[in-house]
Structure 1
Amino acid sequence: MKIAQVCPFFYPVLGGMEKHVLEISKELVKNGFEVTVLCSNIDRSGRILKNEQVFDSILIKRFKVYFKISEFASFFPGVFREVRKQKYDVVHAHAYRHPHNFVVYFSNKPMVLTPHYPIYPLSGKLRNIYTKIFDKMFGASLMKRYKKIIALTDGEKEWLTSSFFIPGSKIEVVPNGVSEKYLDRHDPEIFLKKFKIDRNKFIILSVGRLSKSKGFQDLIEVLSFLPENIRKDIVLVIIGPDGGYYKKLVDLVVEKKLKNVIFTGEVSEEVKLSAYEACDLFILPSYWEGFGITLLEAMAKNKIVMARNVGGQKYVVPEKEFLFKDLDELKKKLELVYEGKLKKKLDYRKIVKERYLWSKVAKKIMDVYEEVCR
């Protein structure tokens, strides 16, 4: 079966959605599918990428961007010609409110859409206007043309049915996943030695692009609120590339006179796996995530995971005691975890192994493809 995955960006760009497309594509290839990824020819910084390459047996075709609506939405009309002329069995579009969503009008083959739960609470005025116009003009009619829609969580399914009047039978809930290697043991010393961290410290880890919406500023604020005897025993480590907010975060650390915050920048997979192994607590402070793959990565190491009680992430955290609504609640729960008074009751590693491996996720997506081709 020939599958086309259509998305705004792809490898070497690797955010949550790009990782999702890469991992399911790798699993599809393992199962005998022929996979082509169709995307724009730029990364998020605007750097031009080569038009065609093969990566992990996945053919990547990139198309010229004629203009950008925002950092994330680009218009690359070549994808419409590609879908019209090539004989793909299924065309699977990723991300909603992007120009490439209209590819559904150019193919007579079964079309699948994974919107990736696109809610942006900290968006600027222009993006909010664009969102409202797009939803009102195209939302329901566009969704109607896709044969099947894949939601990442039950919350996203509820949003789709209430916002666009899509029957529940048309929506399949298929979560994000994690690689099996995260279940393996990794040496925490690789990370600890690289960043000269005392192994006796209480390590809080957070992972993501350094942007305002990721909420790292709130972790820094909460750290400054903690009693001194707790604060001096904690090291906050934030792993991820700069998304335009690094300087503000550093300035906040200086303003709060904190000496125990480490920004690592991008790190290798080996170092990241070691960091998950070394940490005592993982916190995802984002104001909204469609899902939150980093939660699964930490859960695979059987670590306590905390997240803001919003978006897709609230459906991923297994025990609701570890969700927080505001900074005051985060502070209280952080103190309880540190003191050993708030502990997890479930085996998170087992949960990941049973529900969230990419091999299991891809099998559900294969079932969707088979269904739409009947």
Structure 2
Amino acid sequence: MDATHPLHPRPIRVAMLARAVFPLHGFGGIERHVYHLTKYLTKLGVEVTLYVQTPPANAERGDLRPHAIETLRYDYTTPLLPPNGVVGRQINFPVYSWRIGHLAAQCVLAGAFDVVHTQGLCAFGYAMARRRDPRLHSTPFVANPHGMEEFRTPDRAKWLAYAPFRLLYAYGHRQADRAIATDACTKDDLPRYLGVDPAKVVVIPSAIDVEECLSQVRSDLRAALRFRLGLTSGGPMLLSVGRLEPNKGFDVLIAALARLRNELPANWRWLLVGSGSAREALEQQVRAAGIADHTLFVGRLSDEELHSLYEEIDLFVHPTRYEGSSLVTLEAMIHRRPVVASAIGGIPDKVFPGRNGLLVQPGDVDDLTAQLRAALAARARWPEWGVEGERIVRSTFDWPVVARQTLALYHELLAGNHTSHPARSG
């Protein structure tokens, strides 16, 4: 499939509206999603124009090569409020979304684009422009809400503070011609949380760049990490990766490991990669649980260090309380590592019990203890589980595959199928 417009002999032209993109604005999941989607659509011949916030003066562009980049100011609160704090974000992001949506709308009316594709809350601004000018309805509008943290947080204070965000999210995505669910098992969340017509929901997974991940493994880094982290004991090496925040469930894993410490081999280790506000509390819990000698808080790692570390561990454990698609789970799988992870968000579309790992009820210490015990008892099958995990990623969650699915959606919409139709499963 190529990117030729079905009605005109030229490539499809897409306005991609986002707040941030890797590497200009950081290393987060959505930033990487926008980067890889742009990269692989461009490889398919799509002309992608990125609309993003103005990057820092010293930002690195890397190999980001869209057709064009349009930037707009994001921070309207500094120095009064942190720009991405709970309050600052609720001021800055809606204003930014409104302005960038109307900027893109002007270009659509000038005939510059064939498709508008928004990421996260950027749907709100373009939806408002579209409502005000019916001429914009002739150009397909695709929206991806991503993980919808504002709807899932267990923190009551955050949940209340994000009430305005939830209204804007819901409004923006209801106006789109298609709203993307990033996993089949979460497609019902868009009608449930956002009020999106189920017939407008299409499943296109979030993905990782398989070749990019594997190319970052370096033998010298593996050796350095083995020495630095003491990975020469021969016992099972468990790894978790994520922000050190309550929603990631690392406190639940500590409690489970404490129960298993007398059943585990003497030289077992648990490595926790990441940083965040809960680090001190987790360190205190580890000491109180009596597993401090087996636990290492690694802190943040570079991409090359992390992908090299995946090659040195035996089992990946992701005990999150809530989650979007969980790219770190895919990363562990492409390195052929078995996975024990919470059955939440998009994880059940990736981890299949007895095939490439085991699933756990989120926040349940008893279940996590039982599933870790079962995984350890099945250690002889870990290589087999690893091979199956790699197969799942390459067939479904690799960016070249997902970019082709996205392009197919553009073709479908441009062929005139703006009307609702049954949700697809992939």
2-structure distance, mates of 1:40, 1:130: 24
| Residue of 335, 340, 357 corresponding to 2:398 | 357
Distance 1:147 1:99, change over 3 A: closer
Moved more, 349-358 or 317-326: 317-326
Q: Which runs of 5+ in 1 are unaligned?
A: 43-47
Moved more, 355-364 or 314-323: 314-323
Q: Which runs of 5+ in 2 are unaligned?
A: 1-11, 78-82, 131-135, 416-426
Report the Cα offset of residue 165 of structure 1: 4.8
Whether 1:330 and 2:368 are equivalent positions in the alignment is yes
**Contact 1:112–1:149 (CA under 8 A) maintained in structure 2:** yes
Report the Cα offset of residue 149 of structure 1: 0.9
Report the Cα offset of residue 132 of structure 1: 4.6
2-structure distance, mates of 1:99, 1:177: 21
Equivalence for 2:351? 317
Whether 1:79 and 2:100 are equivalent positions in the alignment is yes
Moved more, 189-198 or 63-72: 63-72
Report the Cα offset of residue 140 of structure 1: 5.5
Instruction: Identify, as 1 or 2, the structure richer in strand.
Output: 1
| Residue of 100, 113, 117 corresponding to 1:92 | 117
2-structure distance, mates of 1:89, 1:115: 21
Aligned residues: 365
Moved more, 21-30 or 68-77: 68-77
Equivalence for 1:279? 313
Equivalence for 1:174? 204
Report the Cα offset of residue 324 of structure 1: 1.0
Deviations 1:312-353 (A, max 9, x none): 222221227711111111112212322336846652211211
Moved more, 266-275 or 64-73: 64-73
Distance 1:340 1:189, change over 3 A: farther
2-structure distance, mates of 1:207, 1:139: 28
**Contact 1:117–1:156 (CA under 8 A) maintained in structure 2:** no
Query: Secondary structure at 2:45's aligned position in 1?
Result: coil
Equivalence for 2:302? 268
Equivalence for 1:57? 65
Moved more, 73-82 or 303-312: 73-82
Give the TM-score taking structure 2 as reference length. 0.76
Equivalence for 2:285? 252
Report the Cα offset of residue 192 of structure 1: 1.6
Report the Cα offset of residue 265 of structure 1: 2.1
2-structure distance, mates of 1:40, 1:288: 28
1-structure distance, mates of 2:402, 2:20: 21
2-structure distance, mates of 1:104, 1:283: 39
Distance 1:353 1:183, change over 3 A: farther
In angstroms, what is the RMSD of aligned CA positions? 2.9
Equivalence for 2:378? 340
Whether 1:5 and 2:16 are equivalent positions in the alignment is yes
Distance 1:200 1:36, change over 3 A: same
Whether 1:152 and 2:182 are equivalent positions in the alignment is yes
Moved more, 54-63 or 78-87: 54-63
Letter in 2 for 1:247: E
Letter in 1 for 2:21: F
2-structure distance, mates of 1:253, 1:124: 23
Report the Cα offset of residue 276 of structure 1: 1.2
**Contact 1:253–1:261 (CA under 8 A) maintained in structure 2:** yes
**Contact 2:117–2:141 (CA under 8 A) maintained in structure 1:** yes
1-structure distance, mates of 2:195, 2:170: 7
Report the Cα offset of residue 152 of structure 1: 0.8
Distance 1:49 1:284, change over 3 A: farther
2-structure distance, mates of 1:343, 1:162: 38
**Contact 2:324–2:346 (CA under 8 A) maintained in structure 1:** yes
Deviations 1:153-196 (A, max 9, x none): 12321122344553433111011112222457764435323323
Report the Cα offset of residue 293 of structure 1: 0.9
Percent of pairs with identical residues: 24
**Contact 1:90–1:369 (CA under 8 A) maintained in structure 2:** yes
Whether 1:23 and 2:36 are equivalent positions in the alignment is yes
Report the Cα offset of residue 17 of structure 1: 1.8
2-structure distance, mates of 1:337, 1:92: 41
Greater CA radius of gyration, 1 or 2?
2
Query: Secondary structure at 2:116's aligned position in 1?
Result: strand
**Contact 1:79–1:100 (CA under 8 A) maintained in structure 2:** no
1-structure distance, mates of 2:289, 2:89: 33
